[in-house]
Structure 1
Amino acid sequence: MNTIDIKLERPRVEFLFAKYKEQIGDDYPGYRNHVYRAITYAMHFLDNDEQFEQLVETAFVYHDIGLWTDHQLAYLEPSEATALADNDHFQWGLDQDALRGAIHWHHKITPYKGPHQKVIEACRKADWIDASKGKVRKGLSKEMIKQVEAAFPNLGFHDTLLRLAKDYGGSTLVGGVKVTLGIVKW
């Protein structure tokens, strides 16, 4: 199969982003498109099963949010905390362990095994595809990735990550090391 279901509009994503759009500032278009690409990949791995859609959308809106809300290179825990606090405050009713896990393990190098494995593993693979700009494909064809990237262009997202590593870490090298130590999981 060389096609992938691409939803150009995701009202829940836009609703969730509304609270943080100003805080993300000029980085918003690139981060938004990264989120849409990752959701598209994850939902593909989940056979577009709607039972996972709200969780996946929420996890990806929040998965890197700590970069902007907490100005942290080790942003997984701040991102998790923000997502869980909003889930509780707004009573979305999402499974806290699945939401935390989808955020916490999205940079895991090896496959995730454990509770909520199906959705967490789909999110992990999806982020690796996008973080690598499609060099890591996790079973998707180059054509599928090109379709998703055409629908949601990069808009400098990866350059933003390099800039934030430099801004928060003092240099791109030091920031890169801090990011790697703070977010990569085995």
Structure 2
Amino acid sequence: GHVHRVYHYTRHLILKNGGDPDPDDSAIAVAAAFHDLSFATDQTLDYLPPSIASATEHLETLGLAELAPAVGRMIGFHHKLTPYRAEDANLVEPFRRADLVDLFAVPGVGVPFALRREAQLLYPKCGFRGFVCRTLLLGALKQPWRPAPMLRW
């Protein structure tokens, strides 16, 4: 469910900002599918580099290697604590905000409550937040000197 919600919220935010998400639909879809993949499969907190590598490999297999830099930035900065303003900001920032609103239901990032409610009905959370919290806690206990390696300034 998280993948679908982030995908749809990202498209909504791009449209809301006056952009057209259609030309970047493949990049948005691949970034959404792979952005937390290694977190889920490897249950590690240092999951951004392997998630980017898996997404890049997938794009190369599809013959879409040219999308890898943008997708890599979308994945690599989706936990940035401040707004992203560098290359591909038109994709990275809406993606970052979409992930933020889905995980923490943060108001004021541009995704209306009605859209969030509809998306959660279509794509239920099914224990996702609990899984995230458990994995974060276990990771912090295993590596207390590095409790959140996925965060970026």
* TM-score interval for Structure 1 and Structure 2 normalised by the shorter chain: 0.7 to 0.9
Partner of 2:76: 104
Question: Contact 2:37–2:51 (CA<8 Å) still a contact in 1?
Answer: yes
| Most deviating of 138-147 and 57-66 | 138-147
- Distance change (3 Å), C-alpha of 1:179 and 1:144: farther
SS at match of 2:78: coil
Give 4+ residue runs of structure 1 displaced > 3 Å after superposition.
68-71, 175-180
Question: Contact 1:128–1:136 (CA<8 Å) still a contact in 2?
Answer: no
Q: Does 1:62 align with 2:34?
A: yes
- Distance change (3 Å), C-alpha of 1:76 and 1:52: same
Aligned match for 2:101, one of 129, 132, 135: 129
Taking the aligned partners of 1:150 and 1:141, their CA distance within structure 2 comes to 15
RCO higher in 1 or 2 (8 Å CA, sep ≥ 6)? 2
Q: Could you state the TM-score of these two structures normalised by the residue count of structure 2? A: 0.85
Cα RMSD (Å) of the superposition?
A: 2.2
Partner of 1:113: 85
Partner of 1:163: 134
State the 1:159 CA deviation: 1.1
Q: Deviations over 1:45-77 (max 9, x none)?
A: 122621111100100110011124444211011
- Distance change (3 Å), C-alpha of 1:108 and 1:176: farther
Partner of 1:18: none
Identity over aligned pairs, percent = 25
Taking the aligned partners of 1:43 and 1:100, their CA distance within structure 2 comes to 18
Partner of 2:13: 45
Give the count of matched residue pairs. 149
SS at match of 1:138: coil
Q: Could you state the TM-score of these two structures normalised by the residue count of structure 1? A: 0.71
Taking the aligned partners of 1:156 and 1:137, their CA distance within structure 2 comes to 24
- Give structure 2 stretches of 5+ with no counterpart: none
